[in-house]
């Protein structure tokens, strides 16, 4: 696990930005516990507490990150998230649950990650730290043009995906799962269609994967380790992968390590 120091958090934000974190949970002790953990890692964070999904939706929060309990009375976390997405497209949602089986629905609302109760300190640090880094990268990107993008429709929700934010995509159970710096989105479609739209900064190392060279951390003849996962490389595609990655680094003015 990456060691997220206070300097890492500072690097994740621009000087003009303050991270706003919302917490929605029907248990008061969990609200206070999460606030304490957040403040320990990021003392400058602005924190908002909500005790129900309805209160969250009526609160018109501008949160960058939302910790959302799945199992709540009246309106559960999944339904709350679906309605919340109509208000806030960019908020990173981190689900909190005592029943891990519920998180398989998280793709439908573009969740960033999830945490299982009782909360592990190491896992919380890892997930919250990654969310902060994602917010930092996104804020830096807003200083300029968003660039090319595509619209994904899944579960009645339309999501704007910036190509520059895509880390890699994969096919699983006839669905395309796009992993971005802001979380994951899945939809029914063909990886070949995404490949045609993505451009020369992307490469298809395996029939089930499409990777963005920008986010390759290291590679060998079998796989490419990305910033948030691993993509397989077919044996017959490896020479072309190396050649295209070299061209990418030359085009971007980078050295291959």
Alpha helices in the chain (DSSP H): 6-11, 28-41, 53-58, 77-87, 121-141, 191-198, 238-252
What pLDDT sits at residue 15?
A: 35
The yes-or-no verdict on residue 144 having pLDDT over 60 is no
Q: Which three-class secondary structure state does DSSP give residue 175?
A: strand
Cβ neighbourhood burial of 256 (10 Å; 0-12, 13-18, 19+): exposed
pTM > 0.85: no
pLDDT in tens, 168-214: 999 988 899 999 988 888 999 899 999 998 989 999 999 999 999 99
Q: 174: alpha, beta or left, given left = phi > 0 and alpha = psi -120 to 50?
A: left
What pLDDT sits at residue 89?
A: 79
Tell me how far apart the alpha carbons of residues 255 and 249 are, in angstroms, rounded to a whole number. 6
Band (104; pLDDT cuts 50, 70, 90): low
What pLDDT sits at residue 145?
A: 53
The yes-or-no verdict on residue 16 having pLDDT over 50 is no
pLDDT in tens, 213-250: 999 998 999 999 998 899 999 999 999 999 898 788 76
Total Cβ atoms within 10 A of residue 4: 17
112 compared with 91, residue with greater pLDDT: 91
- Kindly state the DSSP code that residue 50 receives in the 8-state scheme: E
What pLDDT sits at residue 147?
A: 66
- Kindly state the DSSP code that residue 73 receives in the 8-state scheme: S
What pLDDT sits at residue 102?
A: 65
Band (10; pLDDT cuts 50, 70, 90): very low
Instruction: Report residue 256: phi and psi, to 5°.
Output: -80, 130
The yes-or-no verdict on residue 6 having pLDDT over 80 is no
38 compared with 159, residue with greater pLDDT: 38
Average pLDDT for 134-156: 70
User: Of 8-12, 26-30, 134-138, where does mean pLDDT reach its minimum?
Assistant: 8-12
């Amino acid at each position: 696990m990456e060691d997220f120091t206070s300097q890492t958090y500072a690097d994740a934000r621009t000087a003009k930005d303050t991270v706003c974190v919302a917490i929605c949970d029907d248990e008061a002790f969990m609200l206070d516990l999460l606030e304490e953990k957040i403040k320990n890692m990021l003392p400058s964070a602005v924190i908002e507490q909500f005790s129900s999904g309805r209160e969250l939706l009526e609160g018109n929060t501008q949160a960058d990150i939302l910790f959302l309990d799945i199992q709540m009375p009246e309106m559960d976390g999944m339904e709350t998230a679906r309605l919340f997405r109509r208000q806030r497209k960019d908020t990173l949602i981190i689900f909190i649950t005592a029943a891990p089986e519920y998180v398989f629905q998280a793709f439908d609302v573009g969740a960033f990650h999830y945490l299982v109760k009782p909360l592990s300190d190491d896992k919380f640090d890892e997930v919250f730290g990654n969310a902060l880094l994602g917010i930092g990268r996104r804020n830096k990107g807003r200083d300029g043009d968003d660039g090319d993008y595509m619209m994904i429709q899944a579960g009645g929700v339309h999501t704007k995906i910036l190509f520059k934010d895509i880390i890699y995509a994969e096919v699983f159970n006839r669905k395309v799962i796009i992993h971005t710096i802001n979380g994951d989105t899945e939809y029914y479609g063909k990886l070949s269609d995404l490949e045609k739209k993505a451009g020369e900064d992307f490469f298809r190392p395996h029939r089930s994967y499409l990777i963005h060279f920008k986010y390759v951390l290291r590679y060998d003849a079998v796989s490419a380790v990305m910033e948030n996962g691993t993509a397989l490389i077919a044996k017959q595609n490896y020479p072309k992968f190396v050649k295209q990655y070299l061209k990418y680094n030359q085009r971007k003015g980078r050295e291959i390590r």
